Amino acid sequence: MEPGSKRDFSDFNPFSLKESGSSPPKDRVILHCDLNNFYASVECLDKPYLKNRPVAVCGDPERRHGIVLAKNEPAKRFGIQTGEPLCVAKAKCPAILFLPAHPASYKEYSQKLRRLYRRYTDQIESFGIDECFLDVTGSLGLFGTGEQIANELRTAAKATTGLTISAGVSFNKTFSKMGSDYKKPDATTLISRNNYKELLWPLPVENMLFAGRATAEKLRLFGIHTIGELALTPQKVLEKYFGKAGVQLHAKANGFDPEPVQKDDFLRPPESIGNSLTCPFDLVSMDEVRPVLFMLCDSVSARLRRHSLKCRVLVLSVRTNRFENRTHQKILSEETHLSTVLFYNALSLYEQTKRAGEALRGLGICAKKLTDENSIQLSFLDGSLERAKKEKLEQTVDRIRERFGNKILGSALYLTQPELCSDHPLYREDEPFRHS
């Protein structure tokens, strides 16, 4: 297909992708509720004088966490972006006001909204602290259509909390999320089988949920610039060049997303576990990098054990003092949740990829390809007994920390850089976001 060419989608039948003779499934009614500018909106609730002033919630500049975490609508009009340094935001908007973050308040308001959602359904699945999917199919007889329920929720949220919601209503989770993004703030968008081609297919392909920037760039190389062009590209072509992800994107662009909305008490197993740390000073030498890497691995391994998981892939992320980011990953020789094993692999990965003279502002560690620790078969011939001893030791450390606090035990490496200890990821796990 030619780049920029337009397609006629009027004759496309999504059900034709199914096997012939099959009947369309009974549609669900799914809402996606997204609290508008959540952190910034909470901060401005008791400060009405800030209503029309550009405001951004930021990390602590003294701890070098000076990035934009959230912004309000007036700030958005100046092009302020989440994640950009405060100096950049200030250059775009000299009048912007920076406010500190209050995680406990965000958690409180998030819980208030969940109590509101429970009036309509028990199928409530979090998509972040400020977003939720709701399956209201079984509630239509009591409360009316999906649009009516969404509008009631928006009105009730504004009346009880002062916060506004953008809601998407659709027959699957993907389109409901894209519906809440379609019009902001404080709006309801219905994406139905009758209008999704009209509303979504003309949008740039990067607007497709889970497409990602890198995937979108690769799709454009193949002449796929819009969601509609993605939907009409033969599935076999996408599978050949994008694998399973291509098949999934094709299905979702065509409206096929059978994934259920989970119950309110459902805890989704994590697909990855990671932590990052912005350091109070630039890291130049290995003596400075080493304790930071161990702290991060210590935190990640403890969280893996808490979920009874082991990982097979380790990802190292670095952020330079020029705000350049890059990642490197390594397949481990075996599944593990040992901090020492993660540390030595992370150290090896860093030594292989470090650049001469480079100063680092931050580091991150992420464990991927997670496996239930109980599903891994042990052998007496491969060092499993010795590994079991090490695992028992680290589990003992976990229990001591649970009883007496995370600061009670730590590596001697921390003594080499005591100024970093206050930022140990284990000491700040209750934060709803991570600084990077």
Any domain includes 31: no
pLDDT category of residue 158 using cuts at 50, 70 and 90 = very high
The whole-number pLDDT of residue 390 equals 65
In sign, the C-alpha dihedral spanning 156, 162, 163, 166 is positive
> What mean pLDDT comes out for the span 112-133?
94
Closest CA to 181 of 145, 206, 162, 161: 206
Phi then psi for residue 75, to 5 deg, are: -70, -35
Phi then psi for residue 107, to 5 deg, are: -65, -40
Measured distance CA(175)–CA(192) in Å, rounded: 9
Give yes or no for a contact between 302 and 410, defined as CB atoms under 8 angstroms apart.
Answer: no
Any domain includes 172: no
Domain stops at, among 86, 103, 120: 103
Phi then psi for residue 269, to 5 deg, are: -60, 135
Expressed as residue numbers, the domain containing 53 is 38-103
The whole-number pLDDT of residue 83 equals 81
Any domain includes 404: yes
Closest CA to 37 of 100, 109, 130: 130
The whole-number pLDDT of residue 362 equals 86
Name the β-bridge partners of 168.
32, 189
412-427 pLDDT, tens digit each: 555 555 555 555 554 4
CA distances from 294 to 253, 297, 404 (A): 42, 5, 21
The model scores a pTM over 0.95: no
> What mean pLDDT comes out for the span 274-283?
84
Any domain includes 14: no
Tokens of 410: 């730590």
Any domain includes 259: no
Please name the amino acid found at residue 411: S
Any domain includes 415: yes
Any domain includes 25: no
222-236 pLDDT, tens digit each: 999 999 999 999 999
How many CA atoms lie less than 13 Å away from 420 in the CB half-sphere? Answer: 30
**Is residue 376 scored above 80 in pLDDT?**
no
The whole-number pLDDT of residue 347 equals 92
The whole-number pLDDT of residue 56 equals 93
Domain stops at, among 84, 103, 122: 103
51-67 pLDDT, tens digit each: 889 999 987 766 655 78
Looking at the 3D structure of the chain, how many domains does it have? 2
Give yes or no for a contact between 133 and 268, defined as CB atoms under 8 angstroms apart.
Answer: no
CA distances from 291 to 283, 287, 434 (A): 11, 7, 19
Domain stops at, among 103, 130, 157: 103
Active site residue 131: yes
The whole-number pLDDT of residue 279 equals 79
CATH (domain of 278): 3.30.1490.100
The catalytic position among 43, 73, 125, 131 is 131
Report the Cα 380 to chain-centroid distance in Å: 40
Give yes or no for a contact between 166 and 187, defined as CB atoms under 8 angstroms apart.
Answer: yes
235-254 pLDDT, tens digit each: 999 999 988 889 999 999 99
Find the length of the chain: 436
Give yes or no for a contact between 297 and 342, defined as CB atoms under 8 angstroms apart.
Answer: yes
CATH (domain of 44): 3.40.1170.60
pLDDT category of residue 436 using cuts at 50, 70 and 90 = very low
Between 386 and 95, the more confident residue is 95
The Cβ of residue 173 has, within 10 Å, a number of other Cβ atoms equal to 24
> What mean pLDDT comes out for the span 159-173?
96
Any domain includes 12: no
Which uninterrupted H or E stretch holds 288? Answer: helix 286-306
